[in-house]
Structure 1
Amino acid sequence: MNKLSFKKGGLTALLLLMPLSGIWADGDDLSEVIAGLDTFWVLMAAFMVFFMQAGFGMVEAGFIRAKNTTNILTKNFLDFCMASLGFFVFGYALMFGKGNGFLGLSGWFLIGAESAADVPLFAFWLFQAAFCGAAATIVAGGMAERMKFQAYLIYSFLISAFIYPVIGHWVWGGGWLASIGFNDFAGSGVVHTTGGVAALIGTILLKPRMGKYRPDGTIKMIAGHNIPLASLGVFILWFGWFGFNPGSTLSVGDGNLIARIAINTNLAAAAGGITAMITIWMVSGKPDLSMALNGALAGLVAVTAPCAFIDPWAAIVIGAIGGIIVVLASIGLDKIRIDDPVGAFPVHGVNGIWGTISIGIFGKSALGLPSDGLLYGGGFSQLGIQLLGIIAIISFVLVTMGTIFKVIDLTIGLRVSKDEENLGLDIGEHGLESYTGFQIIE
């Protein structure tokens, strides 16, 4: 930079800062500026988490067959629509309203509602609504290629309006789990275990796709139709996670905390991708990209709960273990003939559980945890609390979502007809192909 441009730049900066000098001189005005920055931070994080819906859509579309692409994308699109309305009418009140240890009972339609953070209500609501949408959309992948669209819409509204918010109240709304010291910083348990376990129970009730498991005991590999699309989706999700985890600070006040959460998020994803690739390479003899992609997501899911309470080396270990167990869980589901087309339960359910438990092992009281984890001399106290909390979340989701899916199945039905499944849900359910003018061979 030459001297002239340096002088121009310095003059420009000075002119920009001069109007703020009066603000900085006044304590009340300074607090307003800080509040504005916090609001901006939370809104930008909410926008990034919202963009993760595109990532989920691309991943799920890429991992399934071409004939069902429109269907899965429609479900992802409507998930956020349902989540926004359900969380506005009922969900926020149940999650953050004044009530008891089990659920909130005030603030329906946001009338009389209060923000649970030091940012305006509407900003906080949007951030939480984006999380709600993420929990709901996880299930689409596990139940892909054979679930009725109208049945899915009913499920999507109910989990967004009632099931997810109750669990959120237990942990983030001052409920009973929060009162005993349970911690889940950004949602390995609240968001991902909820969505992953719901996907598992729905997948079991739906039964496998036709032809997936042959009578002779062999397994037909039903390949996804567009790995580049799935890869793009994972990169979008990875990017969005920098809003998901650091944004959960809900304030720009502690730069060190935000930076530590960001690096932990990144390192866990990288480690998960590598260990998943190595694991599937050892098992199958090939470095399967689809497993590496799910490994990165597994690392992201696992680090979401402990990201604020651990050192970077621990994030690598947590992500690396996540990458291994996502492969083993995927293989295990096939062995017991549970057909999860995109790995919703191995990625979000299994690693949501692992991430929540890992706080009790790697967490540090010096980083804000109530007590040290097992590795730092804290004994089994925090680990026991984390185990109790995750068992409670799993049990609640199994009972409530199992009931919801069963009632839907007994009334309008969960699964499309055999003819629709053979033809593809794009035509059978929507009358609209994703790819026109091409002959799709499957």
Structure 2
Amino acid sequence: MAKLLGIRSETLVRSPRANVAVGFLMIWWGWLAFNTSSNYSVSGQQWTEGSRSAVGTIMASVGGGMVTVLISRYTTKKIEVDMFIDGLLASLVSSTAGCLFYTPWQATLVGAIGSTLALIAYPVLEKAKIDDPVGVIPVHVVGSVWGMISPALFVCRDFGLEQHKVTNENDLSGLLYGGGVTLLLYQLAALGAIAVFSAFSAFTILWTLQHSPIGLRLSRLDEELGADLREHGLAGVNVMAYTIEKKLTAK
């Protein structure tokens, strides 16, 4: 994106932390719906898949939250709200691929490792001078890579398959449960395919927009005023300052 758009002219103005926290809570509960509904059915015994996915998702966020608090206290001597939210988001991303198949302790460990890896990635990006203001790479790239690899380590084909009708069509176990590297190779192949498809699609769409009459970037004035003001007539820095530019009437 920086190659297409250019470097920002000044430091971003952050939104109030309370707004950020409320937004994260919406994402958190939405993630439960996302993970639990991914089997597209609750008929017969399939409701158990949704319930197990919910437990796996929650426990992953618990593990990620605990580790993030410890890291934040150690590195900053306080609990940073931004760091806490980023750690929790990374744990949710990490849980998505395998939440159905994890035991509670496995999900907790997966979330904890995902959060740790994401938080390690932040200073690495800063040192490399990679512009990532919203933490897409640490949270979604690092978290998803670990999330794709972790089932190949922790999945056990004997965990609840008969009692709960959980599907594992290839009858494979992860590396830590005697399954060898077969599942790991499958996951790495899928990860590579997703990465290539996503990179190609994103570049094609963004490049096309950049060279179209629509464009990809706001004008410098609109950037300084803020996209909320430009697109919606709202002042986006402080929610208490939100105003309507034109009064609405019934006429």
TM-score range, shorter chain: 0.7 to 0.9
Q: Distance in 1 between matches of 2:32 and 2:232?
A: 35
User: 1:228 pairs with 12, 18, 22, which one?
Assistant: 18
Q: 1:37-65: CA deviations, max 9, x gaps?
A: xxxxxxxxxxxxxxxxxxxxxxxxxxxxx
* 1:5-404 mapped onto 2 (5 Å cutoff): 202=1, 205-212=4-11, 222=12, 224-249=14-39, 250-254=41-45, 255-367=47-159, 368-369=167-168, 370=170, 371-404=172-205
Q: TM-score, normalised by structure 1?
A: 0.48
**Is the contact made by 1:207 and 1:339 (CA closer than 8 Å) also made in structure 2?**
no
Q: Distance in 2 between matches of 1:407 and 1:266?
A: 40
Instruction: Name 1:410's counterpart in structure 2.
Output: 211
Structure 2 alignment gaps of length 5 or more: 160-166, 243-251
**Is the contact made by 2:35 and 2:57 (CA closer than 8 Å) also made in structure 1?**
yes
Q: Distance in 2 between matches of 1:339 and 1:231?
A: 23
Q: Distance in 2 between matches of 1:362 and 1:437?
A: 47
- Of structures 1 and 2, the one scoring higher in RCO (CA 8 A, sep 6+) is 1
* TM-fit CA distance, 1:304: 0.9
Instruction: Say what the alpha-carbon RMSD is for the aligned residues.
Output: 2.4
Q: Distance in 1 between matches of 2:218 and 2:127?
A: 25
Q: Distance in 2 between matches of 1:400 and 1:332?
A: 26
* TM-fit CA distance, 1:349: 2.2
Q: Distance in 1 between matches of 2:58 and 2:44?
A: 21
Larger radius of gyration: 1
Q: TM-score, normalised by structure 2?
A: 0.81
Structure showing the higher helix proportion among its residues: 1
* TM-fit CA distance, 1:261: 1.7
* TM-fit CA distance, 1:365: 1.6
**Is the contact made by 1:260 and 1:312 (CA closer than 8 Å) also made in structure 2?**
no
SS of residue in 2 equivalent to 1:366: coil
Q: 1:223 to 1:364 in 2, by over 3 A?
A: farther
Instruction: Name 1:423's counterpart in structure 2.
Output: 225
**Is the contact made by 1:318 and 1:358 (CA closer than 8 Å) also made in structure 2?**
yes
Q: 1:415 to 1:295 in 2, by over 3 A?
A: same
Q: Distance in 2 between matches of 1:316 and 1:204?
A: 38
Q: 1:242 to 1:226 in 2, by over 3 A?
A: same
Q: Distance in 1 between matches of 2:239 and 2:26?
A: 26
* TM-fit CA distance, 1:319: 0.2
Q: Distance in 2 between matches of 1:223 and 1:285?
A: 24
Aligned residues: 229
**Is the contact made by 1:207 and 1:338 (CA closer than 8 Å) also made in structure 2?**
no
Q: Distance in 1 between matches of 2:19 and 2:78?
A: 21
Q: Distance in 2 between matches of 1:350 and 1:424?
A: 30
* TM-fit CA distance, 1:223: 5.4
Q: 1:148-184: CA deviations, max 9, x gaps?
A: xxxxxxxxxxxxxxxxxxxxxxxxxxxxxxxxxxxxx
